Amino acid sequence: MIENARRAELPSQQNGQPAAHLSKLRINDSFIVGRDERILVTGSTGFIGSRVVERLLERGFRNLICFIRPSSDLNRIEALRKSQPSEVRIELFKGNLLRPADCELACRDVRIIFHLAAGTGEKSFPDAFMNSVVTTRNLLVASLRHARLQRIVLVSSFTVYTNRQKSRRLDESCPMEEHPELRGDAYCYAKVKQEQIVKDYGKSFGIPYVVVRPGSVYGAGSEVAGRVGIGTFGLFLHLGGSNAIPFTHVENCAEAISLAGLVKGVDGEIFNVVDDDLPSSRQFLRQYKKNVRRFKSVYVPHVVSHVLCHLWEKYSQWSKGQLPPAFNRSRWYVDWKKTRYSNEKLKLRLGWVQKVSTEEGLRRYFESCGQGEGYA
Amino acid sequence: MLKVAIVGCGKIADAHVSQIQRIQGCEIVGVCDREPLMAKQLYERFPVKECFTDLNALLNEARPDVVHITTPPESHFDVAELCLEHGCHVYVEKPFTLYADQAQRLLALAGEKGSKVTVGHNDQFSHAARRMRTLIGNGYLGGLPVHMESHYGYDLGDPSYARALLGDKQHWVRRLPGKLLQNVISHGIAKIAEFLTSEAPRVIACGFASSLLKSIDESEILDELRVVICEAQTTAYFTFSSQMRPSMHEFRIFGLKNGLVLDQDHEILIKLRGNKFKSYADKFIPPLLFAKQHFGNAIENMRLFLARDFHMDSGMKYLIESFYGSILRDSPVPIPYREILLTARIMDAIFDQLNSSCPQGDLVLQGHSFRRE
């Protein structure tokens, strides 16, 4: 398997031209590092991170260091490690990214960092910030000390966009949230600041970086609900309607992230990651009910959801935070405004190809939901 | 205008700043954290004048009147001491200090410097807790308490959450003398301390690791604690549990005439009448009276919500406002120093007993170890 993987079947890109013609090049020709170079993956036991490690191994990279929390579930990564031939080195580095000394050790001789570890699902701004921004700064400082890094790939999110552009199309050129602190979403705040610090270090110290912004990453065990609607008091409020959900199957997302770290000539670029053939929120909900479980839902038209978000925002201000600003117009634009998503740049510059079709991805997802692994 | 500063820009600092913003007549002149990014994020998100990474610089340049100390507990004493030396009043997050003797030294220093001190036992200042205090002050119990029960639940969730929380063997919680317990039980202990009259009640503690923690091979942390506190005429039980359901925060106090139940989670205060009705009437009338009381609590909570006075941290706002008021008017502090010290002493006694012996899985009772079945 490793020998086969030495032949890079992966398209690449140079000088802004489509990359398909490079698909037969060997690793050393199309990628920025050779297969024995040291590659660090943070968040490597996570939902996406573990798949990124798999992609790298499939491509023949055989000197990986996986940064893991002491509390991480190691079953998946241990199984992966055991399945590799003896020449493949997967080092599990147990540590805390908040500790500079741990970062320093982990970054030694590292050529590429895939930085997926971040504070997720936290309601507290300081916690989300600390686990996303302070940790990223520690990695950047450690990399500077070793001066061997050729690229850091930051895995960000669609949440950083305002999505207030006139066009319904969302691509990499759309503006980022300038005042993420006003969105009332700790994750958004942390992600915007995390991107800022990577860009600042890139500008000030010349650290090459690539930012990857996945849409809604789904797969067995993932959560999908937000863009579709909100479950409340036993009733599901369907807010998405005919909006497309910016799905990317976890395998497709991992493929995009791995390419973003390897392909030459993309330093300083940003890539949105979404699949083709995106279902609308209504289609997804219908399929979910058909394949997983039935429940009551009520469609809330976009105009109404916009007004409700506006009212919630105003009440939150008027009551001085008696209700937190969980729903507001900024969130409405990001989650529920009618939007078209583009993956043109991903295909053109990285040669990304969707490995798991949306139809197959959703089939697998619903199947896993039926087995109690995922939920919407 | 009272000049306020925050030292330590983590999670709890957000709650402090949010509540301070709602109080008239004060401004936040500086925030400080050794991690510059953390100081900056708080500074950016709230109307704060300056941010610092050095405590001395904060004290000398921003010259605050009051400093809120929201750092991890290990540093409370040193930070508070420095702030008091600079003539500041200090609000220290719970637990006040690691040891009772540190608490005593800080309170003595505050006396010398003419500064005021309080501790973040804001649970005692929720709307329902204040109603309870008023009733007790008006003699509802019929004298000193005979018995109190304080339940403090702490939901560790499923094993994966517990593992994430406790997985870091170098976490600062592990360096506390009472570890996890020290960081969370002071709210529940302080409720009892408020109504004790002696300076050194007898304390009997029993602690052990739950089956949940054992299932993730946790050997250092205890998450189940039972305490009996006794003085001349009053006894109290304190229960801390990560496994008991519902995971509740409740305080019960019984006097010679009547009792009271304070449900902190739902902001409910229930009066327990000492008198009984005759015969079967005692089976029919009390349930209706309890229903009436619960209905009254619901109405009161809704009234407060509509009046925009029912924030999640309303107890903290009241405590901060009362503390600032005591500074401006030179009136008594909202939490008497005696109560701060007594809480610290009870906690010292608990941790002394828990740490005196205790291989994993043993019950610890008054310094003796008993193997669990």
Q: What is the mean pLDDT of residues A251-259?
A: 98
Tell me, yes or no, if A76 comes closer than 8 A to chain B by beta carbon.
no
pLDDT at residue A3, as a whole number: 35
Q: Is residue B372 part of a domain?
A: no
Q: Is residue B140 part of a domain?
A: yes
How does pLDDT run along chain B (373 residues), one tens digit per residue? 999 999 999 999 999 999 999 999 999 999 999 999 999 999 999 999 999 999 999 999 999 999 999 999 999 999 999 999 999 999 999 999 999 999 999 999 999 999 999 999 999 999 999 999 999 999 999 999 999 999 999 988 766 556 666 777 778 888 899 999 999 999 999 999 999 999 989 999 999 999 888 887 787 889 999 999 999 999 999 999 999 999 999 999 999 999 999 999 999 999 999 999 999 999 999 999 999 999 999 999 999 999 999 999 999 999 999 999 999 999 999 999 999 999 999 999 999 999 885 544 444 444 333 333 3
Q: Examine the domain organization and report whether B45 and B103 are in the same domain.
A: yes
Tell me, yes or no, if B35 comes closer than 8 A to chain A by beta carbon.
yes
Q: What is the ipTM of this complex?
A: 0.90
pLDDT at residue A175, as a whole number: 96
Backbone torsions φ then ψ of A270, nearest 5 degrees? -120, 140
* Residue B345: alpha-carbon gap to chain centroid: 14
Tell me, yes or no, if A134 comes closer than 8 A to chain B by beta carbon.
yes
Peptide linkage before B286 cis (omega within 30 of 0): no
Q: Examine the domain organization and report whether B101 and B131 are in the same domain.
A: no
Distance CA B72, CA B38 (A): 14
Q: What is the mean pLDDT of residues A138-167?
A: 95
Q: Examine the domain organization and report whether B299 and B156 are in the same domain.
A: yes
Q: Examine the domain organization and report whether B141 and B197 are in the same domain.
A: yes
Q: Examine the domain organization and report whether B152 and B112 are in the same domain.
A: no
Q: Which domain holds residue A26?
A: 2-223+246-278+339-363
Q: Is the pLDDT of residue A23 over 50?
A: no
Q: What is the DSSP letter of B13?
A: H
Interface contact flag, B18 A319, Cβ < 8 Å: no
The secondary structure element, H or E, covering residue B238 is strand B235-241
Distance CA A146, CA A108 (A): 6
pLDDT at residue B61, as a whole number: 98
Q: Is residue B25 part of a domain?
A: yes
Distance CA B108, CA B301 (A): 40
B139: domain CATH number?
A: 3.30.360.10
Q: Is residue A65 part of a domain?
A: yes
* Residue B14: alpha-carbon gap to chain centroid: 17
Q: Is residue B285 part of a domain?
A: yes
pLDDT at residue B114, as a whole number: 97
Question: How many folded domains does chain A comprise?
Answer: 1
Interface contact flag, B167 A129, Cβ < 8 Å: no
Interface contact flag, A322 B41, Cβ < 8 Å: no
Q: What is the mean pLDDT of residues A335-355?
A: 96
Q: Is residue B338 part of a domain?
A: no
Do A147 and A109 meet the contact criterion of CB atoms below 8 Å apart?
no
Q: Examine the domain organization and report whether B301 and B163 are in the same domain.
A: yes
User: Which chain A residue has its CA at the smallest distance from B15's CA?
Assistant: A124
pLDDT band at A222 (very low <50, low <70, confident <90, very high): confident
Which of residues 41 through 80 in chain B touch A, CB cutoff 8 A? 41-42, 44-45
Please classify residue A182 by burial: count the beta carbons closer than 10 Å to its beta carbon, then call 0-12 exposed, 13-18 middle and 19+ buried.
middle
Interface contact flag, B41 A69, Cβ < 8 Å: no
Tell me, yes or no, if A186 comes closer than 8 A to chain B by beta carbon.
no
Tell me, yes or no, if A181 comes closer than 8 A to chain B by beta carbon.
yes
Interface contact flag, B37 A133, Cβ < 8 Å: yes
Q: Examine the domain organization and report whether B99 and B138 are in the same domain.
A: no
pLDDT band at A71 (very low <50, low <70, confident <90, very high): confident
Tell me, yes or no, if B10 comes closer than 8 A to chain A by beta carbon.
yes
Q: Is residue B373 part of a domain?
A: no
User: Which chain B residue has its CA at the smallest distance from A190's CA?
Assistant: B41
User: Which chain B residue has its CA at the smallest distance from A95's CA?
Assistant: B168
Q: Is residue A61 part of a domain?
A: yes
Q: Is residue A297 part of a domain?
A: no
Q: Is residue A144 part of a domain?
A: yes
pTM score, two decimals? Answer: 0.90
Q: Examine the domain organization and report whether B161 and B91 are in the same domain.
A: no
Distance CA A148, CA A208 (A): 11
Q: Which domain holds residue B92?
A: 2-119
Looking at B89, B104, B119, the residue that finishes a domain is B119
Q: Is residue A313 part of a domain?
A: no
Q: Examine the domain organization and report whether B225 and B252 are in the same domain.
A: yes
B53: domain CATH number?
A: 3.40.50.720
Q: Examine the domain organization and report whether B99 and B149 are in the same domain.
A: no
A165: domain CATH number?
A: 3.40.50.720
pLDDT at residue A376, as a whole number: 46
User: Which chain B residue has its CA at the smallest distance from A137's CA?
Assistant: B37
- What share of chain A in percent tops pLDDT 90? 78
Distance CA A220, CA A361 (A): 9
pLDDT at residue B212, as a whole number: 86
Could you tell me if residue A362 is left (phi over 0), alpha (psi between -120 and 50 degrees) or otherwise beta? alpha
B128 CB-near residues (< 8 Å, 6+ apart): B262, B263, B264, B267, B268, B269, B297
Distance CA B364, CA B354 (A): 6
Q: What is the mean pLDDT of residues A253-267?
A: 97
Q: Examine the domain organization and report whether B253 and B272 are in the same domain.
A: yes
Q: What is the mean pLDDT of residues A57-83?
A: 90
Q: Examine the domain organization and report whether B231 and B251 are in the same domain.
A: yes
Q: Tell me the DSSP string of B335-353.
A: S-HHHHHHHHHHHHHHHHH
Q: Is residue B363 part of a domain?
A: no
H-type helices in chain A, by residue range?
2-6, 27-30, 49-58, 75-82, 100-107, 125-129, 135-146, 186-205, 250-262, 281-291, 302-318, 329-335, 344-350, 358-370
Q: How far is A363 from chain B (nearest CA, A)?
A: 28
pLDDT at residue A372, as a whole number: 64
Q: What is the mean pLDDT of residues A331-344?
A: 95
Tell me, yes or no, if A121 comes closer than 8 A to chain B by beta carbon.
no
Question: How many folded domains does chain B comprise?
Answer: 2
Looking at B89, B119, B149, the residue that finishes a domain is B119
Number of neighbours of residue A376 by Cβ within 10 angstroms: 22
Q: How far is A279 from chain B (nearest CA, A)?
A: 33
